[in-house]
Amino acid sequence: MTAIDINYTTRRARVRWDERVTKLSAILEAIAAIGYRAHPYDVGRSEELAQKERKAALWRLFVAGFGMMQVMMYAIPVYLADGDMTPDIEQLMRWASLILTLPVMLYSAAPFFVSAWRDLKLRRVGMDVPVALGVGAAFAASVWATLIAAGEVYFDSVTMFVFFLLSGRYLEMMARQKAARSVETLARAIPAFATRLAAWPGSTDGERIAVAELRTGDAVQVRPGETVPADGFVLEGESAADESLLTGESRPVSKVAGDALIGGSVNTASPLVMRVERVGEATRVAAIQRLMERAAAEKPRLVEMADRVAGRFIIALLVLAVGAALAWWWIDASRALWIFVAVLVVSCPCALSLATPAALTVATGALAARGVLVTRGHAIEALARADRFIFDKTGTLTLGRMALVEVIPKRDDAARALALAAALERGSEHPIARALAAGAAGADGTGANAAMPVDGLRATTGAGVEGSIEGRVWRLGRPAFVGAMHGAALPADIETKVGAGDTVIALGNEEGWQAFFRLSDGLRPEAAGMASRLKAAGIRLSIFSGDLPAAAARVGAALGIADTRGGLSPEDKHAALRDLQEAGETVAMVGDGVNDAPVLAQAQVSIAMGGGADLARANADVVLLGNDLQALPEGLALARRTVRIVKQNLVWAFAYNFLAIPLAMAGWVTPWMAGIGMSASSLLVVLNALRLQRN
């Protein structure tokens, strides 16, 4: 195998192998050898297995509960008789209890023994090892006492313990499946079939085909109530789309010709005809699903620490249980066994191991429902600790839909300057590039100018682009970048506009300035509210922008952000952020462009806008799916709640174990009481974590 990623939440593994070296059958055999069964991933199959798991767990719970009640019917008369029952009747009660306990041991408790045996074969000590030892020892001793008609039996404690433990694990399983369903829901978002209009626009006759057969450029009809089968844009019609599954936006988003459609969203009003742009693994829903799986597959630092502590704790627990049994063998041999069982059971570190992952798993799903997609395992913890948020300006605090306001030619006419600029920016997804392309298309409806061939095109991140057109080298970008080519001073009228904070892009060659383009970009309507809520939460705010200092300062003044720095290259941003970190600050960086990728990677927690560049999203720890900045303070508050709940769970788990172990060793806790305590402890941390799903 060349790579393997295991997602413990969804119980899925992504395996990459070289067929010339390894066969799939060999991989499946290796998985089977360590006690697991592997199936090719399929959404329907996954849900079928989850239902099968729930059904099997319920049956095991039913058998354990029924056995427990029946065994107690025979145990209670023996307890009430207090030694006055005749030996033959008492022995009959014991045999009846043994017969009723057998199904509980052979069927209900089987998973504990299977898991413990697998762990021991792999030379490790898992959480089921002390459980299996305790249950097995109590049952074996009870069987021996029944066979020789002497000594104590613990069939009632065994069945009760198994029932309570299975009850807790069933509820844990339901919580885990509920938390993991967010990934599965995304996988089911894309429909199986779509209506392709093969002869559109000449004919509206459609054919029903599998979504897997769709290709880029196909025209597809989406009726009201149907799910959009792929990413694309509207060709015809006017409607609204429910994108809540993907962006967290609860209100339908209006759609007209030219608007983008996201695969997995639902058409809510009128029929639409769309053109397919991305299908399969290239769609946005597939990218979101991969990011969610990556987050679940990575173990945060808190989880790794809890796992290490739990592993050492189990070894210490086994030593304490054996020590307590030996001590009681000298004090009162009749009590040694059940004290050994009680110590093993009462402090099994299930709650300790569940304390952190349960909260983080639930929090990840709750954040996704709010449009905040966690893509790295450590992101929630880092976000909760953040004390400074740094924002890029263009496309993050602003709408990112820059409009061309004015063309200022210096050597040639405006139309040719626009054509040169559009040719140089062809293929770029930057908001400025889109604005120039739109301006050029408006000036020349044929699009011929934008098709100018460009040779040797080279982009300088955060500065601009350079390329050869008609045998001459041109530069387009920041005035300083273009001016370095010819050394001419910035014209006075342009310098005035720059000083006023306008966004000005220059075009020139080695002979001098060719033209200037003035663009505008409005603030996001929710930006001011977001900034005030973050400041109220004690967060310090900064703006690091590659735009001109005056333009960045104007945005900072509008949002009440004092630390505003403009004219920064990606290297400058990276250095400034590192300075803040060295001063002891925990930094969250919010950006959307390719030039933000290095600084996103440097921050303790990086946040990318969902509509930004792919590279920024790939390097981010968190993605704002709906591009709604108000999700930031909501996500911060939920992350802080998550860390508080993790701490509560850990404090409870440690306090419970430190209290329960001495009580069990002192003989004050019976095995059935231990079963209730351990199950209740595990259930408590899961229920505490589920509180994060509440608004």
- Residues marked active site are found at 392
CB atoms within 10 A of CB 659: 13
Are the C-beta atoms of residues 242 and 269 closer than 8 Å to each other?
no
Rounded-to-integer distance, Cα 167 and Cα 170, Å: 5
Are the C-beta atoms of residues 276 and 232 closer than 8 Å to each other?
yes
CA-based nearest residue to 541, from 636, 626, 431: 636
Question: Using CB atoms within 10 A of its CB, is residue 183 exposed (0-12), middle (13-18) or buried (19+)?
Answer: buried
The secondary structure of residue 488, as a DSSP letter, is P
The secondary structure of residue 466, as a DSSP letter, is E
How far CA 456 is from CA of 157, 424, 473, 514, 678, in Å, comes to: 80, 10, 9, 20, 68
Distant-in-sequence contacts of 493-500, Cβ < 8 A, 24+ apart = 493/408, 494/408, 498/548, 498/550, 499/550, 500/550
Place of tokens 């099994």: 348
Specify which residues 459 forms β-bridges with. 465
Rounded-to-integer distance, Cα 543 and Cα 546, Å: 10
CB atoms within 10 A of CB 1: 12
Rounded-to-integer distance, Cα 595 and Cα 608, Å: 12
Tokens, residue 580: 């803040």
Are the C-beta atoms of residues 267 and 223 closer than 8 Å to each other?
yes
DSSP string computed for 170-230: HHHHHHHHHHHHHHHHHHTTS-SEEEE-TTTTT----EEEEGGG--TT-EEEE-TTPBP-S
How far CA 437 is from CA of 431, 595, 650, in Å, comes to: 10, 20, 56
Tokens, residue 450: 């934008």
The secondary structure of residue 397, as a DSSP letter, is I
Specify which residues 515 forms β-bridges with. 409, 507
Rounded-to-integer distance, Cα 271 and Cα 276, Å: 16
